[in-house]
Structure 1
């Protein structure tokens, strides 16, 4: 199909981009563009104005902070997957970035775009939830942060831009596991975990309606052990309604798959503590 007609602008800075987004109804942010542009071509997405932020250096980079790591929204998934600080302090986030698509996808795709993708499961949000990360946003009223778990449901408000992902440092006690759809490489099911002094944090995507933290499973596994049998038993106690069947899979199968992946991730994270 032919792209629908829209206007295009390349602002010189973030403030100009925010002004354009708030002043034009139907405006959209263009970053990696791997979801937006195909959507515009097929008619699944619409836009009156594309605001191209790809050149804004203030939205790039990975930096240590007092509490952890600040990942700029325009940082590519390839950069995120191989960054030594992320590998050392947030390995589940690095692994989730590495699990996205193929090298071409990772070289174009951005952290902010992966977090903000609507209508499909992507890998980075589940890792952000397990990490207890926050999404930093900017809009006409200033900057604020939203817990990654909340952002996975609400998304970015109109005229707002994702500026960064703020990830607490964990060391090596975190992991990510995924079973991918062979055709699309989107997750059939993906799990991310962190082992903290207060117990494990466990999140799932693909098998659920949206990226979801499983507090019931966490409570059942508090204090361990993280054997496959114990983890599967904890997952069997979850309501099957949490798991959404599709693509030839049942809720029962997806619940079991989520348990198997979580067990692998927990065991790897636990070994890193030894």
Structure 2
């Protein structure tokens, strides 16, 4: 299909971008465009105005902070996947970024855009939930924050821009595993974990209606051992309706697959060098 009619503007500052979004009903943020543009082409998405953020250098870059790592929302997935600081201290995020699509997708797609994507499972939100990421948002009311888990449930409010991902300090004990659809490379199921002093944080996507943290599984496996048998038993105790069948897969199969991927991720996290 041909793209529907819309206006396009490329602001040079965040304040200008927010003014444009507030002043036009139906205005949408354009970051990498890897989800939005195909949606506009198929008619799944609508926009009266695209506000392109690619000139906003203030939204790029990765830096250490007193509490962890700050990742600018316009940082590309390729940059996120290769950054030494992220690789060392948030490996689940680096692995999720690396799992996205192909090199062309990763060179255009952005951390903020992937985190904010709705309507189809993507890789970064599940890793962000496991890592305890907080998203920084800028909007008409100023700057606010929301957890990655809350963002996955509610989406980004209209007229608001994701400006950064705030990653708490957590060391190397994190990992990501994925089974991808062969045609699209979207996750059939993906699992991410981070092992903390209070026990593991576990999240899944693809097999569920949205990216979810599985607190019940966390409680059942506790401090370990993180054997495949123990992890699968914890997943079998989850309600079957949690897992949404699709693409020829049953809820039972997806629940089992989520458990297998989680067990692999936990093993990888435990074996990571200190």
Which of the five TM-score ranges fits, normalised by the shorter chain? over 0.9
TM-aligned CA deviation for residue 272 of structure 1: 2.2
Q: Which residue of 2 aligns with 1:213?
A: 213
Q: How does 1:23-38 map to 2 (within 5 A)?
A: 23-38=23-38
Q: Which residue of 1 aligns with 2:261?
A: 261
| Whole-Å separation in 2 of the counterparts to 1:43 and 1:227 | 45
TM-aligned CA deviation for residue 141 of structure 1: 1.1
SS at match of 1:238: coil
TM-aligned CA deviation for residue 230 of structure 1: 0.6
> For structure 1, which segment, 39-48 or 234-243, has the greater mean C-alpha deviation from structure 2 after superposition?
39-48
SS at match of 2:28: strand
* Per-residue CA distance 1:140-193 (angstroms, 9 max, x = gap): 111010011000011110100010111112211110000000000000000000
Q: Which runs of 5+ in 1 are unaligned?
A: none
Q: Which residue of 2 aligns with 1:185?
A: 185
TM-score (norm 1): 0.98
TM-aligned CA deviation for residue 273 of structure 1: 6.2
| Whole-Å separation in 1 of the counterparts to 2:92 and 2:2 | 39
| Whole-Å separation in 2 of the counterparts to 1:10 and 1:175 | 37
Q: Which residue of 2 aligns with 1:174?
A: 174
| Whole-Å separation in 1 of the counterparts to 2:2 and 2:100 | 27
| Whole-Å separation in 1 of the counterparts to 2:273 and 2:33 | 39
CA RMSD across the alignment: 0.9
TM-aligned CA deviation for residue 84 of structure 1: 0.2
Q: Which residue of 2 aligns with 1:41?
A: 41
Q: Which residue of 1 aligns with 2:242?
A: 242
Q: Which runs of 4+ in 1 moved over 6 A?
A: none
SS at match of 2:164: strand
TM-aligned CA deviation for residue 17 of structure 1: 0.4
Q: Which runs of 5+ in 2 are unaligned?
A: none
Matched, 1:224 2:246: no
| Whole-Å separation in 2 of the counterparts to 1:34 and 1:216 | 34
| Whole-Å separation in 2 of the counterparts to 1:88 and 1:101 | 23
TM-aligned CA deviation for residue 12 of structure 1: 1.8
Give the total of aligned pairs: 274
